[in-house]
Amino acid sequence: MWEKALDRILSQLMVRDQLRVRFPDGQTRIYGPNTGETASLEIADIAALRALCVNPSLGLGEGFMNGTLTFNERGLEDSLVLLLRNREAGQLPAWLRAAHHMRYHARNFIQRNNPIRSRQNVAHHYDISDDLYRLFLDADMQYSCAYFTDPDMSLEAAQEAKKAHIGRKLRIEPGCHVLDIGCGWGGMALTLARDFDARVTGITLSENQLKTAQRRAEEAGLSDRVTFKLEDYRHIRGTFDRIVSVGMLEHVGVPNYGTYFQRVNELLSPDGIALIHTIGRSAPPMPHDPWINKYIFPGGYVPSLSELAGPLEQAKLWQSDIEVWRLHYARTLRHWRSRFETHRDQVLAMYDDRFVRMFQYYFTVCIIAFEHQMQAVYHFQLAHERNAVPVTRGYLYSGNVQGEG
């Protein structure tokens, strides 16, 4: 039965390239035209075969993690790119298209992300272990897209460039009070305090990140100017001259965008500036990858501009600039994956083989999303006043900024 179902899927899907499949019973079948390229997939057991048929995106990732799906000839990345290319040209059977639509329309339910759920979601990924993240992130532990003003610059330099670019966009003056929503391990907050002389309040929902961030502030002698709190963006009180939020909106969920931008409105001082950095899709909305949702970011979602623009406008904030980073995240992820591979033995000392493959799969599907699908990073610079920032963007590119001149 499941052989037949996969047969039907692949017959409709493979219209550009060839896929050679070895089924659990030892049989091999070939799908797609001879004219394209070839990938080959080995399915070790019926469970993996069934999972592929029921929910291909989820089944592919789980099979790879479990070691029951193996891509021979080409590696994981090339094989997934080939499958994606055929998916864009080919067709999926009706039952899978229906499931895709259902997932999309369930997003308002799935992404409710109330404060309790948000904390669980955050703990799922960010509380794994600092030691693991240290093995693949840069020294400052920036777990978000870096900014490659030069394609050959190091990950460390590109993360520095990201923080500097955001600092310029925020036009921080000494003594400014900055709120960092989703402060991670505190790198952005410490940088803004050290390099821009700001006072910073950073909030996170991860106890792990909080502890590390607090320790780092003490070590850097910045505890008098930087405060970290375990707090939800819905509960924080006060008024801030600047608000920065990097890689946090992805966890907010579509039903909460209105609340999120309304909070930015309320928390931002009348002449303040906010900078929201988020992954987005330069394409119509679609459901989040079910494997990523299950294993990496529960409650997460990559919004399209059309989903953000309405809630943004309702918050009555000026969108004073919208930057769209293409390819920077693919480069960042390639650095992370390569560092992860380099430290594979150390990861294996902490976790098992399945965990290693989970991270390999995670990095790889994300690279593909930024290189072959229409995923990007959006920078929304927001303000109450139309002249909170200069009327041209020259101020972002003045001086001897590397690669920007």
Active site residues: 366
Any contact of residue 101 with its own copies (CB under 8 A)? no
User: 193 vs 383, which CB is nearer to its own copies?
Assistant: 383
Dist. CA 140–CA 190, nearest whole Å: 10
Tell the smallest beta-carbon distance from residue 28 to its own copies (Å). Answer: 36
Any contact of residue 319 with its own copies (CB under 8 A)? yes
Using CA of residue 397, residue 402, residue 404, residue 405, what is the dihedral sign? positive
Three-state SS for 221-238 is CCCCCEEEEECCCCCCCC
Query: Per CB under 8 A, which region of 90-98, 189-197, 207-215, 307-315 contacts its own copies?
Result: 307-315
3-state secondary structure of 140: coil
Dist. CA 242–CA 202, nearest whole Å: 12
Any contact of residue 108 with its own copies (CB under 8 A)? no
Dist. CA 323–CA 205, nearest whole Å: 27
Dist. CA 238–CA 236, nearest whole Å: 7
Token pair for 256: 């909460």
Any contact of residue 40 with its own copies (CB under 8 A)? no
Closest CA to 79 of 307, 376, 372, 276: 372
340 φψ region: left (φ > 0), alpha (ψ -120 to 50), beta (else): alpha
User: 87 vs 134, which CB is nearer to its own copies?
Assistant: 87
Tell the smallest beta-carbon distance from residue 393 to its own copies (Å). Answer: 7
Question: For its own copies, which residue of 54, 92, 132, 327 counts as binding (CB under 8 A)?
Answer: 327
Residues in the chain: 405
Question: For its own copies, which residue of 105, 234, 235, 316 counts as binding (CB under 8 A)?
Answer: 316
User: 24 vs 90, which CB is nearer to its own copies?
Assistant: 90
User: 246 vs 369, which CB is nearer to its own copies?
Assistant: 369
Q: Which residues, other chains included, contact 340 with Cβ-Cβ below 8 Å and sequence gap of 6+? A: 135, 136, 347, 359, 360, 363
* Residue 42 CB burial class (10 angstroms; 0-12, 13-18, ≥19): middle
Tell the smallest beta-carbon distance from residue 313 to its own copies (Å). Answer: 5
Q: Which residues, other chains included, contact 236 with Cβ-Cβ below 8 Å and sequence gap of 6+? A: 179, 181, 201, 203, 229, 263, 267
Tell the smallest beta-carbon distance from residue 145 to its own copies (Å). Answer: 11
- The amino acid present at 168, given as its one-letter code, is R
Tell the smallest beta-carbon distance from residue 152 to its own copies (Å). Answer: 13
- Backbone φ and ψ for 227, nearest 5 degrees, come out as -120, 135
User: 168 vs 177, which CB is nearer to its own copies?
Assistant: 168
Concatenated DSSP letters of 94-113: HHHHHHHHHHHHTHHHHT--
**Total of residues contacting its own copies (CB under 8 A):** 46
Query: Per CB under 8 A, which region of 67-75, 202-210, 279-287, 294-302 contacts its own copies?
Result: 279-287
Any contact of residue 400 with its own copies (CB under 8 A)? no
Name the maximum alpha-carbon separation found in the chain: 70
Question: For its own copies, which residue of 46, 321, 355, 357 counts as binding (CB under 8 A)?
Answer: 321
Question: For its own copies, which residue of 314, 342, 344, 348 counts as binding (CB under 8 A)?
Answer: 314
CA 184 to chain centre: 13
User: 208 vs 304, which CB is nearer to its own copies?
Assistant: 304
Closest CA to 205 of 321, 86, 124: 124
Question: For its own copies, which residue of 30, 324, 348, 350 counts as binding (CB under 8 A)?
Answer: 324
Token pair for 161: 């460039």
Any contact of residue 216 with its own copies (CB under 8 A)? no
Site string for its own copies, 136-165 (x = CB under 8 A): -----------xxx-x--------------
User: 108 vs 319, which CB is nearer to its own copies?
Assistant: 319
Dist. CA 33–CA 89, nearest whole Å: 13
Tell the smallest beta-carbon distance from residue 271 to its own copies (Å). Answer: 14
Question: For its own copies, which residue of 47, 84, 123, 305 counts as binding (CB under 8 A)?
Answer: 305
Any contact of residue 332 with its own copies (CB under 8 A)? no
Tell the smallest beta-carbon distance from residue 165 to its own copies (Å). Answer: 9
Any contact of residue 28 with its own copies (CB under 8 A)? no
3-state secondary structure of 305: helix
User: 115 vs 390, which CB is nearer to its own copies?
Assistant: 390
Closest CA to 201 of 248, 249, 240: 240
Give contact residues for its own copies (rule: CB under 8 A): 147-149, 151, 281-285, 304-306, 308-310, 312-314, 316-328, 374, 376, 386-387, 391-394, 396-398, 401, 403-405
